Chain A
Amino acid sequence: GENVGLHLPTLSVQEGDNSIINCAYSNSASDYFIWYKQESGKGPQFIIDIRSNMDKRQGQRVTVLLNKTVKHLSLQIAATQPGDSAVYFCAENISTGRRALTFGSGTRLQVQP
């Protein structure tokens, strides 16, 4: 059931600033990682992915960094816009596994105009 009092960590940034959202993953066998954006009442929306043979990948206004040594993933959003306000989840997968994604706990991004 619902955990009363559970709060998502929140990152507040000013419009135009860069945002960095972090994620720690637990399974050292994971070799595929995805960042999703979820707006209120909607399903997750794919942002960018990265495979374990890379440590950086860039998209449009977004960059994902992967540090396998410390099992850390980050999402950088350049020139953050109000439309970027949402909850962001990292997800991991294992190529030899069942292909169901394991989601991190999420971070709420609030962009102040």
Chain B
Amino acid sequence: GAVVSQHPSWVICKSGTSVKIECRSLDFQATTMFWYRQFPKQSLMLMATSNEGSKATYEQGVEKDKFLINHASLTLSTLTVTSAHPEDSSFYICSASRTVTLNTEAFFGQGTRLTVV
């Protein structure tokens, strides 16, 4: 199957600093990538849809100025958590679909564990 790689796998940062998470599709082009957040013992919640060459679409309740998304190429999307606070500590996961056609399998990155201290 297709490979989606996230970096870093884990990060610890101080409160008030910003953290960038990268999501790369290694062997296919992804015009659309999705960013999810997962708190312990909970399901994945969609944060935003990242579209190559255009602005991301954010879900209700997700602050676009706090979670900056950039999708500058067909293989890379980045999520920057700005002015991170302890409540932003979570598991962040990206996914990408191989094609632009409907109902295709979504491939997930290995996730990034963010801890804000």
Q: What residues make up the interface of A, taking CB atoms closer than 8 Å to B?
A: 1-3, 6-8, 31-32, 34, 36, 41-46, 49, 51, 89, 91, 93, 95-96, 98-106
Contacts and interface: CB of A to CB of B under 8 A. Distances in A.
B103 A46 contact: no
Contacts of B4: 43
30 contacts: A2-B39, A2-B40, A3-B39, A6-B41, A6-B42, A7-B41, A8-B41, A34-B106, A43-B95, A43-B110, A44-B44, A46-B106, A51-B103, A89-B43, A91-B106, A93-B103, A96-B102, A99-B32, A99-B97, A99-B103, A99-B104, A99-B106, A100-B34, A100-B49, A101-B46, A103-B43, A103-B45, A104-B43, A106-B42, A106-B43
Interface residues of B, number: 32
Contacts of A98: 49, 57
Contacts of A99: 32, 97, 102-104, 106
Contacts of A96: 102
Contact of B102 (A6, A44, A95): A95
Given A51-B103, A99-B97, A45 B40 contact: no
Contacts of A8: 41
A46 B95 contact: no
